[in-house]
A and B are shown apart, each in its own frame.
Chain A
């Protein structure tokens, strides 16, 4: 480090004569670079947002306008009732209630159970902890389809086909990714805190409930949001396990709706937007928990 500084000083001295010109040059260069950067980012974000605008715009057009060539970038008439028509064209009420039920159960299970398991791996010493945690991590490498088919066999033998059990029950037995995420967070909580409570005579269960849960709230929010997203957007699970339309989720309902609507893009886009909206709203309100989850991920490597 020092050598570098000495060398740098020497070099700067050599440049004393042209110092002013040199620094002016650097400044304009840097400003120019920052401007170019800004323009690139602004153009890029227009590009990124254009599909979302296109979805909104198409959802408000009449079918005649959807079919015009070249397509219009901005709807001539704003047909807000497309949304009402879409909602009524299929049992979206039922789909929404079903999806909310499944999602809530999955979120509750994921938050409580993974926190419980992660506390054990992070704060309770027991024999074989290291090896078991290594197994937790290694299960993340298993391609989902390898277990999907035998799981289907298991659930069908249990008579769980066409029920919500296959979609909800596994969430109450922990997921490797969430255990890993929460364990990372628990590791940042000082052991002295746990030790102090132990001296007071508290069991680990009490410590987890009264200290662990409240202190890990930010990480639990991340788990809640990720599991919400996972359950809300799950298509494969409902496709595999649900047969009756009265049990369908929004994802599955939207897929059926797609088949019925063919290329009536205005209704299809309205339906898509309605299904995506809760996630978009959640994202804007709780962005920092999304980002935190990603930071916990990269910090763990």
Chain B
């Protein structure tokens, strides 16, 4: 799992290859590290985790700015805190 800074206020997290509960757990822990307004790009290839992250973001008031499928089986989420 790689968590990198892309530029000021923008980060990326790659959790592909991992299964529940690690993708949703580490995504939310990374969001905890960010400050309001910052963005996180997450790559997940575990379908169930995508929904858990989406629901957790709704609960916490984070916005899913973008959701795409860069390739089959992989979902990219852009989350804004």
- Tell whether A and B belong to one assembly: no
